[in-house]
Amino acid sequence: MRERLPDLLHDALDASDRAALEAHLAGCADCAAELAVLRSARHVMSAVRVPVLDTASIVAALPRPVALHLSGTVPRRSRTIFRIAAAVSFIRQAVSPWLSRGRSSAT
């Protein structure tokens, strides 16, 4: 029954469920105390004023992002290093079968 107390507080129960819960509250001190706490919290929360924020003016005040203009080209040195690494990798892959074959026949 305790899980239905918020529904009672917010008038979300139909008449028969409401009557059954109120009958339960008449005999259950724990649930009655819980409902009192919920009502107190609702009263306190209704007194709190939530500030209205003008999000449009906040967003308008934000600095514009700076676009990075990249030339789209890779520096010459980076291209050279990449080409050397690719060539070494290719040669290693091409030569490794012959090197492994020579080792296995020697054993």
CA 84 to chain centre: 43
Note whether 31 and 1 are within 8 A (CB). Answer: yes
Q: What is the pLDDT of residues 3-44, one digit of tens each?
A: 899 999 999 999 999 999 999 999 999 999 999 999 999 999
Q: Is 52 left (phi over 0), alpha (psi -120 to 50) or beta?
A: beta
C-alpha 95/C-alpha 91 separation (Å) is 6
Residues 6 or more apart whose Cβ sits within 8 Å of residue 9: 35, 38, 39, 42
**What is the residue extent of each domain of the chain?**
2-48, 78-107
What is the structure's pLDDT at 96?
Answer: 80
- Whether this model's pTM surpasses 0.75: no
